[in-house]
Amino acid sequence: MTEHKALRNIFHATLAAANPFHAVLNAASIEHDHLYIVGVRYDLAAFNRIVVVGAGKATARMAQAIETLLGHRITAGLIVVKEGHTAPLSFIEQVEAAHPIPDSPGVAGTQRILQLLHEADEKTLVICLLSGGASALLVAPCEGITLQDKQITTHFILNAGATINELNAVRKHLSLVKGGRLAQAAFPARLLTLILSDVIADPLDVIASGPTAPDSSTFKDAWAVITKYKLREALPAKIRNHLQRGCAGELPETVKQGDACFATTQNVIVGSNHQALAAAQNCATQLGYATQIISTTLQGEAREAAHCLAQTARNALSNMAINERRCLLWGGETTVTVRGNGKGGRNQELALAFALAIEGLHGIAILSAGTDGSDGPTDAAGAMVDGDTVAQAKSRGIDAQSHLDNNDSYTFFQHFNTATNRHHYLKTGPTGTNVMDVIIVLMDKL
């Protein structure tokens, strides 16, 4: 089996393990008209209505599982999913919206969700389904802020290279649903939130911007992000004024621990990057690689992370015996500070930077890809490279370094694929799941 085929097989094993449908069914069950979820029992006969809401790239598959469990018991339902990430559903309606920059269908869908929640009472069970992407898809700007204001703000913070925690700290303080406000809208209904995590360490207040969890961030934290990335002048005046008024105590904070709405709320993480990497480890071992999970918390600038990964791989290869095979695994989510005008994503950028860092070194290959099947504004999930990639590209007149400098990794792989008649980027289409990124490094010492 070639290294590229092995990389693909291992990655597809991660997708199978992170299947949102199975994640929900593994966590929840129905027995004698009771719903059981991680030891908590919900007496379905005690509720007059069961309402399902949610948002995210993987939410449609999660909704399929809820329909399998509850079927006709569902009174009403509406989820907002990324365009192209729908799945066949019978009782729960789907709205498609844009990601990562929010759009008007996302706003309209969120308004309808809020209406469903405002109609809920003590005899209503609300099941909320959340996965990665929900921060952009669940959109309800605060009073005085427009969708365009949020679009501009999101664009600048994303391009500045901010972490998901930083981006979401700002998003939460511009929203009527994030930072615990969805739980507040559902109160006094009983609220059960099932979550597929796409955030390092699975913090409830960061995943999907924590719409049903107590928020630990403040207006001052949000303003600190704007200051850190020197975005004060770039942002719309309405955004600056709103955050500054919040810092001055003129606006209510996001919902904090101890609020009454959390007494009737349960948040459950049903899947994460950990399961995906465990499956990758098992698959690689079956393929004959001595396999090690290095970290599930990879973050930072993509090209800087690539250099660290390359050095780790170099050191490991130098200590291997002849004919020994190893696989190193990372999970997490890097960022890209956009300085050029090219096209790419964090995984393709990481792979290209890795290729430059191991140029001429035989026996190492890497795949870096997003488990959701998308990488930045491209149709690729990620890319695969080895120690020969840069030299092969150069021999065909394709300069890897200039493409990296221009944040143009997608174009690099596009040209490289055409020139070599091989598939160096990975295209899966929407996978139906989202548990961050997986990086697989294979080493074979000949």
Domain at 391, CATH number? 3.40.1480.10
Does residue 383 carry a pLDDT above 80? yes
pLDDT at res. 446: 87
What proportion of the chain, given as a percentage, has pLDDT over 70?
100
**Domain assignment of residue 142, yes or no:** yes
pLDDT, residue 39, reads: 85
| Nearest C-alpha neighbor of 65 from the set 38, 28, 32 | 28
Tens-place pLDDT, residues 385-404: 999 999 999 999 999 999 99
Q: How many domains does the chain have?
A: 2
In tens, the pLDDT along 123-132 reads: 999 999 999 9
| Residues 305 and 256 placed together within one structural domain of the fold | no
Looking at the fold, whether 140 and 236 belong to one and the same domain comes out as: yes
Give the pLDDT confidence of 309-320 residue by residue, as tens digits: 999 999 999 999
pLDDT in tens, 406-424: 999 999 999 999 999 988 9
| Residues 231 and 355 occupy one common structural domain | no
Same domain, yes or no: 205 and 334: no
pLDDT digits 0-9 by tens, 28-54: 999 999 999 988 999 999 999 999 999
Please check whether residue 396 is in contact with residue 424, taking contact to mean a CB–CB distance below 8 angstroms: no
Query: Do 111 and 214 fall into the same domain?
Result: yes
Give the pLDDT score at 423.
87
Q: In terms of domains, do 98 and 68 share one? A: yes
Rounded average pLDDT over 205-209: 96
Q: How far apart are CA 199 and CA 420, in angstroms?
A: 36
Regarding whether 279 and 267 lie in a shared domain, the answer is no
pLDDT of residue 99 exceeding 90: yes
Place of tokens 């998901």: 164
For residue 245, pLDDT over 80 is answered with yes
What value does the mean pLDDT of the chain take?
Answer: 96
Question: What CATH number did the domain enclosing 69 receive?
Answer: 3.40.50.10180
Measured CA to CA, the distance from residue 54 to residue 77 in angstroms comes to 9
In a domain, 13, yes or no: no
Residue 130, domain member (yes or no): yes
Q: What residues make up the domain containing 300?
A: 274-444
pLDDT at 224: 98
Does residue 1 lie within any of the structural domains?
Answer: no
Q: What is the pLDDT of residue 166?
A: 95
Are 114 and 225 in the same domain?
yes
- As a whole number, mean pLDDT of residues 109-133 equals 97
Per the domain annotation, does 431 fall within a domain? yes
- Given a cut of 80, whether residue 1 has pLDDT beyond it is no
Q: What is the pLDDT of residue 335?
A: 95
- Check whether residue 198 and residue 209 sit in a common domain: yes
**Exposure letters 215-245 (e unless 16+ CB within 10 A, then b):** bbbbbebbbbbbeebebeebbbebbbebbee
Of 233, 251, 271, the residue at which a domain comes to its end is 271
Does residue 165 sit in the same domain as residue 240?
yes
Question: Tokens representing 340?
Answer: 């050029």
